[in-house]
Amino acid sequence: MQRYFIDAQNIEGSFIHIDPYNHKHMQRVMRYHQGDRVICILPDHHVYIYEIIDIEKGILQQKEELIENNELDVEVTLIYGLPKNDKFEWVLQKATELGVHRIVPFLSQRSIIKTDEKSFEKKRERYTRILKEASEQSCRQTIPELTSLMKISQLEKYLGDVNLVAYEEESRNGEKSLLAKTLQKDYQTITIIVGPEGGFDESEIQKMKELGVQACSLGKRILRSETAPLYMLSVIGFSRELMSSWDL
């Protein structure tokens, strides 16, 4: 069954009056009819099966609750040096599938893209839709938060219990254990920081270290800007969801 996130304004008791965008998707893409069923995620993150009782008007009726918990058991914040636009959209989608809780875009000294907060906000609707659709596809109960465009001086408020920045110089220096050791710690929030195509300036790394952020390598190879955050999210997901189930 197709999944839809529902806004509070579209809910009336046990009924939903679906919003125009999702209504169009139901009719023209899914070609649903009266009696078909869909899965709806409500603002409280509870998940229900709804039946379409009037496809022309977009009216759905609640039938039963589904007990789901597909979220990571820790909150992961990705602080990401803004890359070229198409790469950013790709990372939004894939990071959502991998369970990210919050994405904080910022302009690094070496960011190739030229933009500002006003220009970024003009694209928010598109970015939000990418996050929403990726959350639906990956069966999540929440949509990741996308903050406004930040400067590195504003990033302190997004730091967590543990904080890591991927830095290629650490790989060249032979560091290879910090990421694994950090993920073995007891934490509820973790912040990972990845730079844009040009990487970080050394002064930016120094600023992060002053805030308590640890610089780590991601193995022997140097990863692209759009690959590094997905690698880190995958490793976190493995450590939280799969490693504990191994019969070692």
The pLDDT tens digits of the residues spanning 40-75 come to 999 999 999 999 999 999 999 999 999 999 999 999
| Mean pLDDT score, 143-157 | 92
What is the pLDDT at residue 153? 83
What is the pLDDT at residue 245? 59
Residue 68's φ and ψ, nearest 5 degrees, are -130, 150
Q: Which pLDDT tens digit goes with each residue over 26-39?
A: 999 999 999 999 99
244, pLDDT greater than 70? no
Nearest to residue 37, comparing CAs of 70, 10, 63? 63
What is the pLDDT at residue 59? 97
174, pLDDT greater than 70? no
175, pLDDT greater than 90? no
What is the pLDDT at residue 211? 93
Please report which confidence band the pLDDT of residue 243 belongs to, taking 50, 70 and 90 as the band edges.
confident
What is the pLDDT at residue 115? 82
What is the pLDDT at residue 89? 94
166, pLDDT greater than 70? yes
What is the pLDDT at residue 221? 84
Q: How many Å apart are CA 192 and CA 215, to the nearest integer?
A: 10
| Mean pLDDT score, 108-125 | 86
Q: Which pLDDT tens digit goes with each residue over 123-138?
A: 999 999 999 999 999 9
What is the pLDDT at residue 149? 92
Which is higher by pLDDT, 114 or 67? 67
Residue ranges in the chain assigned as alpha helix (H): 20-24, 85-97, 117-122, 124-137, 168-172, 178-183, 202-210, 228-237
What is the pLDDT at residue 247? 53
Nearest to residue 38, comparing CAs of 22, 26, 49? 49
